[in-house]
Structure 1
């Protein structure tokens, strides 16, 4: 399970580097009509998922619906980077065995009315989800940054399986 922790740190480092390269205006800009959220708001959403895990690592219920909208990290890039560092430190403190712990998640499942469902899972599976969710939102943030005219590393926001495919394609083309 150490590989799940390491992979989570790797993607967290990617988003940290991405945020560090932004200026404050780009971090808070909402590119209407294509986006209704800023890069900072996407970051807050990502970190809410990790916060849900961090507050329940002892086997309690993981509640993905606890959101912290309107907090400083949505508009303050340095606050966002500080929280990324806190999540990174938490990840480094995890023992691989913790990922085998059984947990229950709670999440809303409907749009028209408030309906919540609970599912049994493992802490490791949920950490894997959080990292995948981060990658998905990082891909959106990359598009947002490109719309702002920023240069962005082409490796950002790429899913692990896609990265493997790209490497295989590069190896195949080099062999020919």
Structure 2
């Protein structure tokens, strides 16, 4: 179920990017502290890539991601990588080590693939919510009702509507 929800989230991101022109993808928005939708999408992609690309090694480090400018300036390349990761998500859960640079570059925490998939889902939803603010200036762009909204919030809204 988790993998399917992450795939759905990636599909929402792909659907958004397919509607944007490359100029809109790279447009700075004051509402985003002059960041671009492309910068937010690159960040989503690279964190997920840190997990998917390092799954076999078993050591994940979100701090040492690539920061590939092409992913924030070429929406076609961003779509290509999102589709690649959507295809590669089906992996069994396994123990992983999460390296981080909070205290030292050698400290690790125990984690697992599904926990990190959940983290990436929540991270993507957070950035989608920010992107959604910018989309008010692009009213021709349509996103799903769930875009940028946590599954728990969607469930809560359903309960309130009953």
TM-score by length of 2: 0.89
The structural deviation recorded for 1:30 is 1.0
The structural deviation recorded for 1:80 is 0.7
2:5 matched to which residue of 1? Answer: 7
Alignment of 1:72-83 (within 5 A): 72-83=70-81
- CA deviations 1:82-116 (Å, max 9, x no partner) are 1111011111xx24xx21x1111122337xxxx44
C-alpha distance in 2 between matches for 1:75 and 1:18: 15
1:39 matched to which residue of 2? Answer: 37
Say whether 1:165 aligns with 2:156: yes
The structural deviation recorded for 1:148 is 4.4
2:113 matched to which residue of 1? Answer: 123
Say whether 1:108 aligns with 2:106: no
8 Å contact kept, 1:42–1:141: yes
TM-score by length of 1: 0.82
Q: What secondary structure does 2:54 align onto?
A: coil
1:23 matched to which residue of 2? Answer: 21
C-alpha distance in 1 between matches for 2:52 and 2:42: 15
C-alpha distance in 2 between matches for 1:147 and 1:86: 30
The structural deviation recorded for 1:35 is 2.0
Aligned length: 160
- CA deviations 1:109-147 (Å, max 9, x no partner) are 37xxxx444211111100111111111111111112213
CA RMSD of aligned residues (A): 1.9
8 Å contact kept, 1:24–1:76: yes
The structure with the larger Rg is 1
C-alpha distance in 2 between matches for 1:23 and 1:60: 37
The structural deviation recorded for 1:8 is 0.7
Say whether 1:135 aligns with 2:125: yes
1:54 matched to which residue of 2? Answer: 52
5+ residue gaps in structure 2? Answer: none
